Structure 1
Amino acid sequence: MTDLKIFSGKANRALSQQICEYLGVPLGDISLGNFPDGETSCKINEDIRGRDVYLLQPTCPPVNDNLFQLLVMIDSCKRASAERITAVMPYFGYARQDRKDEGRVPITAKLVANLITRAGADRVLTMDLHAAQIQGFFDVPVDHLYAAPVLNEYFLSLGIPMEEIVIVSPDEGSIKRALGHAKRIGGSVAIIDKRRMSAEKTIQANILGGPVAGKVALMFDDMISTAGSIKGAANVLHENGVKEIHVGVSHAVLCGNAMNNLREANLASLICTNSIPQRADQMPPNTRVLSVAPLLGEAIKRIHRNESVSGLFK
């Protein structure tokens, strides 16, 4: 691992430190800041010529600041003659803008992929993309990780009887994810019929699949932003007699009216990962944050050694 260097942006330095502790390597020395006019400044404070460099920076809020900081870090490493540069993005912002769903709108996820590639990244390591096809937007290799094993391990540790579990998909687009969790955890599967009225408003009216009355609902999604969909799905489940609801997500963005929506959802617990930094005073009291540092650290080690990353999920 002597040729491996890991540097962290400002977005999630705590996760970067945990990854370095897992790998047994020091966190790289980098200076990041702003010039008086607000422009981003960056300097690599150690020699990286011929090194395998990993830059950890989720593009979480403030999205544009964190994204541009990543681009500047990539350019700095490229001009310092790094052998290979991997952009490690536990959370990929702009992922929901992955298609033209109406006229005269951009496909911003493709634009961001182009920016990262043209800046000089040789490959990308990310986790739970909102749309898996975003991998195809990059002209460099993309290693796409899943937080599902981390979430499954936690829920299995609760010891809930399998016959009481119902795995709930909050919408039709998450059916494959729900089936994957059901395969590992067990239980029946139910699907919430969700209709999106606008970017901020959705309507949930029906439950498709198995009965939920008297059962413990485990609801999984890739992210929570305003929590409007979670609130709507939880209301439908409560109306149909569910015993309690636990929600597991990879990315807790929690913006807008998220806190009020989560309180009104009456959840037994919210389980998320530390792909995005979380502050205790900004989270509901029944929240548990799980670390994905071992998962990302193992993926980085395998990439560095030219070993299989997909083997992590077999």
Structure 2
Amino acid sequence: MRKSKVFVGTSHPELGQLICDRLGATEGKCTLSKFANGETSVSIGESVRDEDCYIVQSGSSRINDHIMEMLILVAACRGGSANKITAVLPYFPYSKQSKMKKHRGAITARMLANLLTMAGADHVITMDLHAAQMQGFFTKPIDNLHAGPTLARWIRLNVPDWKEAVVVSKNPGGTKRVTALADALKINFAMIHTDRRRRNVFPMSRASPTSYEDEEDEADLDPMSMSEIRTARIVQGHVVDDDYEPEDEGSTHGSSQDNEAMFSSIYSTTSQTEHALGGTIDATGSDDEDDGEFVQEERMITLVGDVKDRTAIIVDDMIDRPGSFVAAAEHCAKNCGAKSVYVVATHGVFGDDCLAEIASSPYVDNIIVTNTFPISAEARMRFSKLTVIDISPILAECIRRNHYGESISQLFDHYMQL
């Protein structure tokens, strides 16, 4: 591309090189280093006057260093009289902090959007924002691309009997993403809900049979399909039988019921007034940022949908922590009869030992992510269940169309391509 330069940061050089190869361009010359006191130093090694500059820098495990590197690169291009500066962030950093979850909290994603604008960015290209409303944080144009067509194509080519598969949302907040993918593939979808309120109350009902042997008898009692709603208990992050009791619960069983009644009474008089509209719905309950709490507390997991003897495809925008994915896979396979479980996401963040825990689960058959977030070659070799899909063609095409002033509506109306 003439009159353009593509600069690649140190967060994800592999993806940056793939984008340059797709564009038939060479990486712009720049020196990225650190001073002895830890400050980031950036030096542009060629003229960018009246050029369109594209800076590729994704989120990574060293997220704060790479954010500063991105901001300084943008400012350096602005200081070099670049015509237009586009920040390409396949995984937008701090995207989980896009809403205020507690009093005196910060909407960090909005602050980062303001920093990019203040540094001199004229345009932002990203992919599958954690919340689509984040586009309103920017005062400059933003293109929020979708990995849907790439993931759907992989499913069609690699999932056996994909036409009979079911796309599953592991929390209510992801249903829009899941239904869009299900509509594109023209297959069914289901939803999982994890109850954070009734942690120790698990009423038995005909809608939650404990075994498949009882399903036919219960189906005779209820004309509604008993396979449509299934519940189970989660203890220490894993699905257990209804009659399971922790080892130390026997001596305190009576007192635990009293405590439950006491806390329920306290909750009824205090928690309900904490919501501005007087409701009792936990707005953060549709997400799983507090994965440590998810593992520690006993909860109830409910699947609304039918995955029996089908492939369950659990879809989310990112895989950061393992708890909710492992529990969802166990519930689909153990209690709901799924013959195989695929975990699919755009961003493979894999914090701490997340990848190892999900891969070690016998109920997870495959883990599919794109390369928006850097994943080491060692991890790809170590975990045979992991598949990393190259997303550079969509990013490169967006850059090319943007440079030549062409419409990119086809990249937004992505499911028309399938």
The TM-score with structure 1 as length reference comes to 0.96
CA contact (8 A) 1:165 1:186 kept: no
Number of matched pairs: 313
Matched, 1:272 2:369: yes
Which residue pairs with 2:347 in the alignment? Answer: 251
- Aligned mates of 2:34, 2:142 — CA distance in 1: 30
Bigger Rg over Cα: 2
Which residue pairs with 2:322 in the alignment? Answer: 227
- Aligned mates of 1:194, 1:158 — CA distance in 2: 30
- TM-align CA RMSD: 1.5
Amino acid at match of 1:257: D
Matched, 1:26 2:5: no
1:265 deviates by 5.9
Alignment partner of 2:332 out of 237, 243, 258: 237
Which residue pairs with 1:83 in the alignment? Answer: 83
- Aligned mates of 1:176, 1:34 — CA distance in 2: 43
Alignment partner of 1:199 out of 282, 290, 294: 290
CA contact (8 A) 1:130 1:222 kept: yes
The TM-score with structure 2 as length reference comes to 0.72
Which residue pairs with 1:45 in the alignment? Answer: 45
- Aligned mates of 1:216, 1:161 — CA distance in 2: 8
Q: Which runs of 5+ in 1 are unaligned?
A: none
- Aligned mates of 1:159, 1:11 — CA distance in 2: 32
Which residue pairs with 1:301 in the alignment? Answer: 400
- Partner secondary structure for residue 152 of structure 1: helix
Matched, 1:291 2:372: no
Amino acid at match of 2:395: L
- Partner secondary structure for residue 256 of structure 1: coil
1:282 deviates by 2.6
Which residue pairs with 1:66 in the alignment? Answer: 66
- Partner secondary structure for residue 69 of structure 1: helix
- Partner secondary structure for residue 191 of structure 2: strand
- Aligned mates of 2:390, 2:378 — CA distance in 1: 18
Cα shift readout 1:189-222 (whole Å, capped 9, x = no counterpart):
110113448712335611012x111111111110
- Partner secondary structure for residue 121 of structure 1: coil
1:159 deviates by 5.5
CA contact (8 A) 1:48 1:77 kept: yes
Cα shift readout 1:143-186 (whole Å, capped 9, x = no counterpart):
00011111111110126335521111111111111111111223
Cα shift readout 1:251-273 (whole Å, capped 9, x = no counterpart):
00101230343022631111111
Amino acid at match of 1:286: K
1:303 deviates by 0.7
Q: Which runs of 5+ in 2 are unaligned?
A: 196-284
1:121 deviates by 0.3
Structure in which a larger fraction of residues adopt strand: 1
- Aligned mates of 2:403, 2:61 — CA distance in 1: 29
Aligned 1:17-166 pairs, distance under 5 A: 17-158=17-158, 160-166=160-166
Q: Taking every aligned residue pair, what percent have the same amino acid on both sides? A: 35
Which residue pairs with 2:265 in the alignment? Answer: none
1:188 deviates by 1.3
Cα shift readout 1:214-266 (whole Å, capped 9, x = no counterpart):
11111111000112221121111112111001111110010123034302263
Question: 49-58 vs 98-107, which deviates more?
Answer: 98-107
Q: Evaluate the alpha carbon distance shift between residue 251 and residue 160 of structure 1 in structure 2; reply closer, same or farther with a 3 A threshold.
A: same
Q: Evaluate the alpha carbon distance shift between residue 28 and residue 265 of structure 1 in structure 2; reply closer, same or farther with a 3 A threshold.
A: farther
- Aligned mates of 1:49, 1:29 — CA distance in 2: 14
- Aligned mates of 2:85, 2:177 — CA distance in 1: 31
- Aligned mates of 2:344, 2:75 — CA distance in 1: 36
- Partner secondary structure for residue 144 of structure 1: strand
- Aligned mates of 2:140, 2:9 — CA distance in 1: 21
Q: Evaluate the alpha carbon distance shift between residue 256 and residue 243 of structure 1 in structure 2; reply closer, same or farther with a 3 A threshold.
A: same
Cα shift readout 1:11-33 (whole Å, capped 9, x = no counterpart):
01111111111111111111101
CA contact (8 A) 2:35 2:41 kept: yes
Q: Evaluate the alpha carbon distance shift between residue 59 and residue 198 of structure 1 in structure 2; reply closer, same or farther with a 3 A threshold.
A: closer
